[in-house]
Amino acid sequence: KAPGPPVLTVRGLSVNFGHVAALSSVDIAVPEHGVLGVIGPNGAGKSTLVDAISGFLPNAEGSVELGGKSLTGSPSNRACAGLRRTFQQDRVPPGLTVGAYLKFLARRRLTADEIGDALDFFGCPDARTPLSQVDVGARRLVEVVGHLLARPRVLLLDEPAAGLPHEEHVAFGERLRQVPARFGVSVLLIEHDLDLVRSVCDTITVLDFGRVLASGPQAEVLADPAVLKAYMGE
């Protein structure tokens, strides 16, 4: 199914850290039931974008609309409105089982079947496995599953494949591509692996020094010489 009009629209987003302009008037749009890829060199402002959209930077300037409604307030307000995000760093608490952590993240009643199906889909360990026995890449997938089980409208993923061995990226990409249809969600994906981006994303926005360098359908953006120059450092 072709992605629809934007479900998440960000306009004029600006964030300063002292004298560093981490984001300067950034516009992005996540297509309904599609995947927007956000790429760019280290320090381009990708994680700051996710922090600002999800309410972790209350002083950010600009507007964020989810389903045509202005999205404001704290991260938990925004989560209630249907926006979820993961973190670039592993934040999974030790001492819980996989299943307990999923319930904590989803914040709603989950059936054992629902949990089992979602874990199987991503190739994650069984719900009874202690998180302390799960390696870092799979722990970050469990985090993704927990947010998906919350049934958000939009999920922001900050480098979800970073902890996975490279040979698992293809399988992860195949699963991620099915996520919008399977979970009824739209996705913003920050990712370094361009093969993964190419296999998953409908549209791409490129950030460079906190500004949008290019934005549009993935084939156009990835063929743009300015993008190749900035992103590949050519």
Residue numbers of the site for ligand ADP (CB under 6 A)? 17, 20, 22, 40, 42-48
Nearer to ligand ADP, 47 or 203 (CB): 47
Instruction: Report d(CA 115, CA 86) in Å as an integer.
Output: 19
Structure tokens at 137: 């890449």
Structure tokens at 44: 């381009």
Nearer to ligand ADP, 48 or 203 (CB): 48
User: Positive or negative CA dihedral for 158, 105, 115, 178?
Assistant: negative
What residues contact residue 42 under an 8 Å CB cut-off, 6+ apart? none
Structure tokens at 1: 């199914």
State phi, psi for 95 to the nearest 5 degrees.
90, -5
Nearest distance, CB of residue 154 and ligand ADP, angstroms? 19
Structure tokens at 197: 């981006």
Which of ligand ADP, Mg ion, none is residue 85 near (CB under 5 to 8 Å by kind)?
none
Nearer to ligand ADP, 200 or 207 (CB): 207
For residue 69, what are the β-bridge partners? 66
In terms of C-beta density within 10 A (0-12 exposed, 13-18 middle, 19 or more buried), how is residue 55 classed? buried
x/- mask, Mg ion, residues 73-112, rule CB under 5 A, reads: ---------------x------------------------
Which of Mg ion, ligand ADP, none is residue 42 near (CB under 5 to 8 Å by kind)?
ligand ADP
Residues, the chain: 234
Which of ligand ADP, Mg ion, none is residue 78 near (CB under 5 to 8 Å by kind)?
none
Which of ligand ADP, Mg ion, none is residue 20 near (CB under 5 to 8 Å by kind)?
ligand ADP
Nearer to ligand ADP, 60 or 106 (CB): 60
Nearest residue to the partner Mg ion, using Cβ: 47
Instruction: Report d(CA 29, CA 11) in Å as an integer.
Output: 9
Nearer to ligand ADP, 45 or 99 (CB): 45
DSSP conformation class of 97: B
> Counting contacts by CB under 5 A, is residue 47 touching Mg ion?
yes
Nearest distance, CB of residue 205 and ligand ADP, angstroms? 12
Site size with Mg ion, rule: CB under 5 A:
3
Nearest distance, CB of residue 25 and ligand ADP, angstroms? 15
> Do 205 and 49 touch, CB atoms closer than 8 A?
no
Interaction site with Mg ion (CB under 5 A) = 46-47, 88
